A = this chain, B = another copy of it.
Amino acid sequence: MRHALKANLELFVKRLLVRSILSDEEQQAILALPVHIVELRKKQDFVHIDEESTYACFVLAGLVGRFGQTSNGLRQFTRFHVPGDVADLHSTVRPIGIGGLNAICDTTILRVPHFAIRTLAARYPAIAEAFWRDCMLDTAVLMQWLINVGRRDARARLAHILCEMAVRSGQDQQIVLEYAFPVTQEQLGDATALTSVHVNRSLKALDSVTTLKSGHVQIHDWDKLARIGEFNPAYLLGDTGAQRQRRLVEAS
């Protein structure tokens, strides 16, 4: 079913272009990065915590969760990665310390060697900046998750995450009111720091506004959901659009 997908980084380049300006040559250089395709089964950890990896993982299809855990094994997802994301681009410059990766559902990734990415960044300053910027978007999302878990009640946490995914699942970061989100309530609990029981109850309390059934989200009332989740897309979208970041160097 998944064999129709082009096993290359096209979607990643497209994502970068939302926030950064890259010349044709630079785009081609990224697309020419060596990749190695890997299929993963659901619930499979494929980058372990404290493991020092030598490649970054581009998500081609499926859903990936980044996570950390406490010493007694409690897991906390810190980020969901949809197709088009590189789940651990940061590991290129810092191969440890930002958690493990888990395939939430059956997932296909492309492995890209760190060495190749670093070489590219060193050769093309605009690419280095684009990668750096992409990592900072990631950090902005992470920060929202901290606010979510620290400062909102169960219903609002779920609403916020569902809003975030509604923006990030869309092709050009526009809001989509219906999207695939193949998580179990248990996994959602690990993302929101709630138990699966409480996720279940809180989701029920939201069912006039949105429903999550067998990995599929339907949002019936976006405004209300955004209000409940106190969702303001500025942190995701604030730097998108035309030519925000002028180039500092000529395309080489």
Contacts and interface: CB of A to CB of B under 8 A. Distances in A.
**Contact size range, A:** 35 or more
B129 A118 contact: yes
Contacts of A142: 139, 142-143, 146
A151 B70 CA distance: 7
A148 B153 CA distance: 17
Chain copies in the assembly?
2
B138 A135 contact: no
A122 interface: yes
A94 B239 contact: yes
Nearest to A50: B234
Nearest to A247: B122
Given A119-B248, A149-B150, A230-B70, A238 B97 contact: yes
A125 to B, nearest CB: 4
Give the residue among A50, A99, A143, A145 with the most B Cβ atoms within 10 A: A143
- What is the predominant secondary structure among interface residues of chain A facing chain B? helix
Contact of A139 (B118, B138, B234): B138
Give the residue among A19, A150, A234, A249 with the most B Cβ atoms within 10 A: A150
A28 interface: no
A136 interface: yes
Contacts of A128: 121, 125, 128-129, 132
A152 interface: yes
Given A132-B135, A248-B119, A145 B146 contact: yes
